[in-house]
Amino acid sequence: MIHRRRFGSPLPKNPSAKDARSSIYLVCFMMLFWTLSEGMVSFIVPLRIAEAGFSDTMLGIIIGTSSIAGALFDLVACRVFKNTFYKRIFGLMFILCLIFPLILMQATTLVAFVIGMAVWGIYWDLRNIGNFDYIARTTEKEGSVHAFGLVQVFQSIGWILGPILVGFLAGEAVGWEPFAAIYIFLGLGIVFYVLLCLWKGNSKQKPELDELEPCRRGSWSEARMMGLLAFALFPALFGIFFINFVDSFFWSIGPLFAEELGLGVFAGLFMTAWSLPAILLGWQAGKVALKFGKERVAYGAQFLAVLCLIPIFLVSTIGIAVIALIFVAASFTALAIPAYQSMFTDYIQERKDLAKEIEGLEDLYTNLGYVFGPMLAGLSADLLGYGQTFSLLGIVVGVAAALLYWANKNKKLAFHQKAPPLICDV
């Protein structure tokens, strides 16, 4: 991730394993309540924009500005933050989280929504920075995958329950009730944040010097280095792009499609179907990848996932059928995402001197997926309708996924053979 590239803590001097095991659950519960509130926010945002009278095209553009703001924040934050200690980062995140619902409640104009999206994009980046910094400081390398996985499980629970709660609280229009629930969950998250700050075991955490010598590059050398590395990382980078591109469609127009399906208070089940498989199958992703191979699972599962989206336009009037197709698509996606993440971990292990650059490119393509996805989702929904948009998404990304699978299968050189040497000006 670009957050580790820009802010990644040097190799940490870790506290005792007991301290790390104890404090990780404080982070998990903090993230659980944060994602409960954020799951509600993510469901409400497109509804509020639509209520303000904006078209689906403008909805996609407005939501896309949040990722643009996050990408711009990545570029300047390294100059703003001299120290990214997770306590400070999480504190700033919660401050912005408390501000955003206030903006969302009152926003009726384009400028107000764009300001809100900027706040939204920034505190999402802060969440990622804080998580990476915490785990880097408190967890040994051998346990980092488990730590990230544990946090991800708690976050997935929030993503599932949040939209369901909105479905029961919002009704036909977004009133004050969902916003009250958002602040209740944020308050509970802040309680665990305070407990994390008071946790005595954290006082033992001290960063060490990075093992690698710093490498300084000018703008031209940086662009050349990243271009060569992006070529070496093909097609994995495009796989990451399309995974997030598809996800952005669901979080942009999914809530509106759910309302159109006429599910009433069960509209939240639409997004639950997209989120639940991450919990059910995430634990088994490692076994599947071990049996079939990481690359085959990543590209193959991604291809099968988008194939499940193609029939949606045929059953777009049958809510339960749409939800079933989405659940199956999400199940394959839940296998593909960890496989992709593990592939990039392997690339970093092969070329530790390029670790920051690899992480940066991975996050760049993630951000691009969330920039272009909402914009194209809104435009397509305006022109074709929601069901047809998801079917078209399945066709387009299905073709792309098939080409990526073919390109990966027929590549002649492994990453460590294609990766460029480290370029330094000084």
pLDDT attached to residue 325: 96
24 and 196 Cβ atoms separated by less than 8 Å: no
Beta-strand runs (E) in 201-315: 206-207
pLDDT attached to residue 425: 53
CB neighbour list of residue 102: distance below 8 Å, 6 or more residues apart: none
**HSE of 184, CA atoms in CB hemisphere, 13 A:** 9
Residue 12, strand partner residues? 207
105 and 235: one domain? no
367 and 225: one domain? yes
Domain tally for the chain? Answer: 2
* DSSP label at residue 264: G
**For residue range 48-106, what is the model confidence (pLDDT) as tens digits?**
898 889 988 898 889 888 888 877 776 666 556 655 678 888 999 999 999 999 999 99
Buried b (16+ CB within 10 A) or exposed e, 85-104: bbeebbbebbebbbebbebb
Tell whether 262 is covered by a domain: yes
244 and 200: one domain? no
261 and 152: one domain? no
CA–CA dist 218, 426 (Å, integer): 9
Tell whether 425 is covered by a domain: no
193 and 272: one domain? no
CA–CA dist 34, 127 (Å, integer): 10
CB neighbour list of residue 156: distance below 8 Å, 6 or more residues apart: 35, 275, 276, 278, 279, 282
308 and 328 Cβ atoms separated by less than 8 Å: yes
Tell whether 340 is covered by a domain: yes
Identify which of 260, 222, 192, 275 has the alpha carbon closest to the alpha carbon of residue 422.
Answer: 222
- The domain in which residue 31 lies consists of 1-8+15-205
Q: What's the CATH code of the domain at 354?
A: 1.20.1250.20
129 and 224: one domain? no
Domain boundary among 205, 228, 244: 205
Tell whether 418 is covered by a domain: no
69 and 192: one domain? yes
Run means of pLDDT, 10 residues per run, the chain, 426 residues:
34 45 84 92 87 88 86 66 75 95 92 93 82 72 60 82 78 75 94 89 45 56 76 89 94 87 77 86 76 88 96 91 95 87 76 72 81 91 94 96 87 64 59
Tell whether 316 is covered by a domain: yes
63 and 123: one domain? yes
Identify which of 246, 266, 252 has the alpha carbon closest to the alpha carbon of residue 163.
Answer: 266
158 and 5 Cβ atoms separated by less than 8 Å: no
pLDDT attached to residue 211: 47
Tell whether 69 is covered by a domain: yes
Tell whether 214 is covered by a domain: no
Any idea which residue has 């708690």 for tokens?
Answer: 154
Preceding omega of 235 cis (within 30 degrees of 0): yes
For residue 88, CA distances in Å to 26, 83, 114, 196, 203 come to 16, 9, 26, 12, 14
Identify which of 333, 273, 268 has the alpha carbon closest to the alpha carbon of residue 304.
Answer: 333
pLDDT attached to residue 204: 44
Domain boundary among 145, 180, 205: 205
**Distance from chain centroid for Cα 66:** 13
28 and 108: one domain? yes
Report the helix count and the strand count for the chain, using DSSP H and E: 17, 2
CB neighbour list of residue 366: distance below 8 Å, 6 or more residues apart: 1, 240, 241, 244
348 and 225: one domain? yes
Tell whether 183 is covered by a domain: yes
pLDDT attached to residue 321: 93
241 and 183: one domain? no
**For residue range 278-291, what is the model confidence (pLDDT) as tens digits?**
888 876 777 787 78
Containing H/E element for 12?
strand 12-13
Containing H/E element for 13?
strand 12-13
CA–CA dist 346, 340 (Å, integer): 10
242 and 291: one domain? yes
Domain boundary among 205, 231, 260: 205
pLDDT attached to residue 11: 34
For residue 97, CA distances in Å to 40, 140, 294, 366, 425 come to 12, 30, 36, 22, 40
